[in-house]
Amino acid sequence: MKMLIGGEWVNAKSGEEIMVVNPATQKFLDTVPNATKEDVANCLHHAGKGQKEWASLSLYVRTAVLAKCADRIKQQRDELATLLSSETGKTIKEAEKEISNTSLIFKSFAEKANHLYGQVMPDIHEGMEKDISFTRREPLGVIVCIVPFNFPANLFAQKVAPALACGNGVIVKPASDNPLTALRLSEILLECGVPGNALQIVTGKGSTVGKWLVDNPMINGVSLTGSTEVGMEIAKDAAKYLHRVFLELGGNDAFIIFEDADLASAVEEAVRTRAGNAGQMCCASKRFLVHEQIKEKFTNALVNRLSKLVIGDPLDPCTEMGCLISEKAAIQVEEGIKHTIEQGAKCIYGGKRFNKTFFPPTVLTDVTPEMDISKDLEVFGPVFPIIEFSSGEEAIRIANQTKYGLQNGIMSADISKAIEVASRLKSGAVVINGGCNYRHVEMPFGGCKMSGIGREGVSCTLEEMSQVKTYVLKSVLNTK
């Protein structure tokens, strides 16, 4: 597939390409251009013109286009889901759900944008009784949307839909491992009426293409979902020009399971929120804090449940867990487990990758709060480190000792206790009666501390991707 620059599908100026393979089979899928600095400069040249063209359309015209995009994505769910599963390694059921959510996100932002109101200031300021001051929202300008590999369709929608709804120009930088779904979605948007210079998509390595796009005065904002390390580099480059920055970064989320929790439900939530997408989720449950009274029972039940998990061909509807995005990613998970074992943990289930990119669910016991995995070591795979606690105070201390603050989960039969604990956890969200992995399309998703800046979701992103202008009509009222 080619990349989209200035309304045309083009190769890189150098002719260099990046091969895209199916991570489950290692079979060739397609190639994409490895963009050069000249390609990026050309893209930026078109972006400003495209933004003005798109913003000149009335809001109802723009949102009608986005609603049409939502319908088209829904109609082509099966095709998109198959492509998504093939290039990412997630199960076909997970891919189908993601494409359905992608359609919903486009539809929801179109509806929300049609009801985004300005404000009129009250006449409480003495001497200004004859004035009328009101606000309107205007586009930021050109926004670079950097989309990660783990949810390439969903997060494409969470960034691109609100940016376009607000009248911004958009440049998408997809992950180099699996850019095909984002490219196909871009084709659909063009077919539905988005101008080809208002939406552009540039493929290539993030370390170069991403930097060229962000470290540039011709853009106005950056929306990134990725690692904390990459987010810090992006923020540094953006700071030179005071670009508005939205960063959804890493996490090492704690799932706290109290002694009065329903054991069967806790196990199911643990599996769902850690084995889903083969553990490659920023808000997955990554630290399992289990009360000492039920730790042994929970561990045995967890291993028993994981032993029945069907791992295999992602395109097989019976498969419950697919593979990781690449062999490199699987090796990194293996290294994280090895490091934790060297610090004193025991691996009682799983632990070794197979077929290059597949990694079995892995249970680690004897994990102490002092170990790296209990603090800031984010393992991006299906690993279950079980950490014992004896009191609510201890659980809160362990949960909060990480540099991250994305989401947490609590299981307890005592709702008052759960809410009290939730109020003391330093994170952007807390799931009560469930694991950490939860994302409603409307919720203001995001974290604190090193988990990012800003929030993303239908309830808030339109405000983030627009700016307020105040209009003052001076001395227009005849007041006594």
- DSSP 8-state code for residue 33: E
> How far, in Å, CA of 42 to CA of 3, rounded?
12
Name the region of 446 (left: φ>0; alpha: ψ -120 to 50; beta: rest): left
Q: How many residues does the chain have?
A: 480
> Catalytic residue at 259?
no
3-state SS class at 395: helix
Which of 248, 269, 378, 388 does the annotation list as catalytic? 248
3-state SS class at 425: coil
HSE, side-chain direction, 13 A CA sphere, residue 355? 17
3-state SS class at 348: strand
Q: Cα–chain-centroid distance for residue 180?
A: 17
For the chain, give percent helix, strand, coil, nearest 5. Answer: 40, 20, 40
* 473 closest CA partner among 9, 136, 231: 136
> How far, in Å, CA of 314 to CA of 82, rounded?
10
> How far, in Å, CA of 228 to CA of 407, rounded?
15
CA Rg value for the chain:
24
Tell me the CA end-to-end span of the chain in Å, nearest whole number: 68
- Annotated catalytic residues are 248
